[in-house]
Structure 1
Amino acid sequence: MRTFLRTAAMGVALTALLAACGTADTPTTPTPTNGAKVKIKLQLQWFYQAQFAGYLAAVDQGFYAEQGLDVEILEGGVDIVPQTVLATGRADYAVSWVPKALASREQGAEITEIAQVFQRSGTYQVSFADKGISSPADLKGKKVGNWGFGNEYELFAGMTRAGLDPGKDVTLVQQQFDMQALLRGDIDAAQAMSYNEYAQVLEAKNPKTGKLYQPTDFTVLNWNTVGTAMLQDALWANTAKLTSDTAYQEQTVKFLAASLKGWIFCRDNAAKCVDIVVAKGSKLGKSHQTWQLNEINKLVWPSPAGIGALDEAAWKSTVDIALTTKNADGATVLTKQPAGTAYTNEYVLKALDLLKAGGADVAGAGFKPIEVTLNEGGA
């Protein structure tokens, strides 16, 4: 998530990498022989945490192995752009937010979305309750933090829809990837992910009470409610291989079936999945990861058409915002409609058929989040 749309500043590097690696002579996918498992690589977009619990669980529980796959999960980081890793052949699949991946496609990356795992956006704008910010219009005259690197487009779309000029009606502040500026009072509203930074303020002590802050101490702008949400974590594949490589096509169905089974497992076995994430070396503690997985499950479930199936209306809304919303520099995410095969539901629907044939609940209509008690610092 941290590198969202950092490709806007890395366009030249991406073009050079694509040219160096080449896309015309895409190597074919090996077919397993003598029962050997096919080795493939999945690139994450950030460090190991519950945001990626489904994939980690698919390895731990043997779901990939069941499909004849030996999956290596590549940890993300500050300077790792997963869709570039995929486009340059250093991974077979990648997790990336839709707008950032589309920006990379516009710059030449031959990638296609194959599954929309998160059905909802997890981006918030958080403020202390006494600031009186209950709608985007209330941001007028306020100091508004955002991370930049393209993370700001939902926020800017919300302000624009409320009749505000983001460049004139608010004071924009470059926010670090934490909530310290909000807690110190340096800004009036801070950008946060529901599953990460929002938990960080609830893991902090209120100096007035000596106890942890409570949700009632804050107000939250949720872009899903406002109507300017953009699609986030999706799985992406190599476009050329999807077009011409039969083994890769078959592998993709198996990879999706196992990955989505991992997410179903984490819906139904949250505590076990938190243990898997913590054991993998997550940088934040168990109560934070428990909160995170609970919030991630809210973004995934319910999935009325089946987990991973892309809602075309949500896609269109994301593309429209990417084309029309300008940031403080006057830039939009995209300059034109995505060309070629930007997404396909073909493989995920086949994967869902496999899961349903095995009796899996792929919609999660009965999912209910749990109550999570946070500890100081997320321990």
Structure 2
Amino acid sequence: MNRILLQHGTSRHGMSRRSFLRTTGRGASAAAGLWLAGCGVGGDGGTAGGRVSVKLGWIPNIEYSGIFVGVADGLYAKRGLEVEVVPGGPNSPVAPLVTTSRVDVGIEAIPENVATAVAGGAKLKIVGAGLRKSPECWISLADKAITEPKQIEGKKLGITLAGKNTALVFLKRNGVDPDKVTLVPIQFDPAPLAAREVDAIWGFASNQPVALGLRGIETHVMPLADYGFNRMQSVFFVSQATLDDPVARENARKFLLGSRDGWDAALKSHQRAAEVTVEKYGKDLGLKLDEQLKALSAMAPYVTSADLVDQGLLWMPESLVEETIASLGSIGITADKSLFTNELLQG
């Protein structure tokens, strides 16, 4: 049986997801409440065209830099669109705001949040994939690298409550006997790995490895997606009401295409993307330029892939949709192809 060594959610290192992620690729700080949605509006003075509000799934940071660059460099404005960016954060759900039309577009870190809302009666559609490959991974120290799933047997694994179900499914699907693994509850802080209290931790490629790298600690990353467990993440979604209304639909289409432009620009110049994120959107959040740069470099391979030559960023090929549906099903989340549509990216 899996052995639990610590009370879940506690660690002598004492760092929560919110405090740890302040300096990595998926978060800033609890000061997000000081950041005003209005600072996301415009570009070069706004436009005379449509207007879209987008709700982020988390506190503003580099994972949304494509949107930030799109606003700051006038890429939405060129398409006749004014964009208002609404920050997310702890206890700040996205799906209810999109469902009730209080915001036009939502971004959820994981598709299961949208699928669960739909199962509860919400009429929502996922219209784009910010991350085509899941950044979830097992992280080990470079000098004791775990390079394939079977090597996990006999090891101590640091795992968060949020990641436990996914981790157990991954182990079973890869022929790893859970009874031969010791699960050590941790938070998002990678300190237990740095201290060699565990052999690997579950985390995100643009988070914990970046934080450890900045401390001079080299790590090895084993993505879950490379071993049969992949689902799109950082998903863009809208309500069916938006798709049914000609004006709202056109504005949402411009937003998706402008976001693609923004991400193309961010990937071409990590420096520009990090500067916009830190100097404008993260000005009051304690973001640091070097950290955001490294986080974007780590995240970039998960944003794009070789099969996007003709279709472009955010596009959801059928194979990715099928992978996502299968992975969601393996963790008990029901979804089908009707949840996904590329229609806003087709024109």
- Deviation for aligned residue 1:152: 4.3
1:139 aligns with 2:152: yes
Q: TM-score, normalised by structure 1?
A: 0.72
Counterparts of 1:272 and 1:79, CA distance in 2: 30
1:53 pairs, out of 60, 65, 74, with 65
Residues 1:163 and 2:175 are matched in the alignment: yes
Alpha-carbon displacement from aligned partner over 1:79-109 (angstroms, at most 9, x marks no partner): 2222233223331101112233212222223
Alpha-carbon contact 2:56-2:87 (below 8 Å) kept: yes
Q: Distance in 2 between matches of 1:66 and 1:121?
A: 31
Which of residues 71, 78, 93 is equivalent to 1:66?
Answer: 78
RMSD (Å) for aligned C-alpha atoms:
2.2
Equivalence for 1:120:
133
1:100 equivalenced with 2:101 (yes/no): no
**8 Å CA contact retained: 1:179, 1:201:** yes
1:303-314 aligned at under 5 Å gives the runs 303-304=308-309, 305-314=311-320
Matching residue's letter, 2:317: D
Alignment partner, residue 347 of structure 1: 344
Residue from 209, 217, 223 that aligns with 1:213: 217
Distance 1:192 1:260 in 2: 27
1:171 offset after TM fit, Å?
A: 2.3
Q: Take 1:114 and 1:107, find their aligned partners in 2: how far apart are those partners?
A: 19
More contact order relative to length (CA 8 Å, sep ≥ 6):
2
The CA distance in 1 between the partners of 2:330 and 2:203, in whole Å, is 23
Contact 2:328 2:335 in 1 (8 A): no
SS at match of 1:117: strand
Matched with 2:260 is: 260
Greater shift in the superposed pair: 193-202 or 221-230: 221-230
Match of 1:174 in 2: 185
Q: Check conservation: 1:121, 1:299, Cα contact below 8 A.
A: yes
Q: Is the 8 A contact 2:52 2:251 kept in 1?
A: no
Letter in 1 for 2:313: I
Question: Identical aligned pairs, as a percentage?
Answer: 24
Assess, with a 3 A threshold, how the Cα gap between structure 1 residues 148 and 344 changes in structure 2: closer, same or farther. same
Q: Aligned residue pairs: how many? A: 296
Q: Which residue identity does 1:309 align to in structure 2?
A: W
> Would you say the 8 A contact 2:194–2:217 is kept in 1?
no
Aligned match of 1:338: 336
After superposition, the C-alpha distances for 1:156-178 in whole angstroms (9 at most, x for unaligned) are: 33311222344x33222332122
Cα distance, 1:38 vs. partner? Answer: 3.2
Q: Does 1:273 align with 2:273?
A: yes
CA distance in 2, matches of 1:264, 1:134: 31
The 8 Å contact of residues 119 and 300 in structure 1, kept in 2 or not, is answered as yes
Q: Structure 1 residue 262: deviation in Å? A: 0.5
- Displacement of 1:192 after TM fit? 2.2
Gaps of 5+ in 2: 1-16, 19-46
Gaps of 5+ in 1: 4-34, 205-211, 326-331, 351-379
CA distance in 2 between partners of 1:70 and 1:171 (Å)? 51
Q: Does 1:318 align with 2:324?
A: yes
Residue aligning to 1:148: 161
Residue of structure 2 equivalent to 1:359: none
Q: CA, structure 1 residues 64+132, in 2 after alignment: closer, same or farther (shift >3 Å)?
A: closer
Does the 8 Å contact 1:112/1:238 carry over to 2? yes
**Aligned partner of residue 116 in structure 1, secondary structure:** strand
Distance 2:86 2:250 in 1: 22
Distance of 2:339 and 2:286 partners within structure 1: 33
After alignment, is 229-238 or 185-194 more displaced? 185-194
Q: Secondary structure at the match of 2:171?
A: helix
Is it true that 1:75 corresponds to 2:75 in the alignment?
Answer: no
* CA pair 38-128 structure 1, distance change in 2 beyond 3 A: same
State the match for 1:185 in structure 2.
196
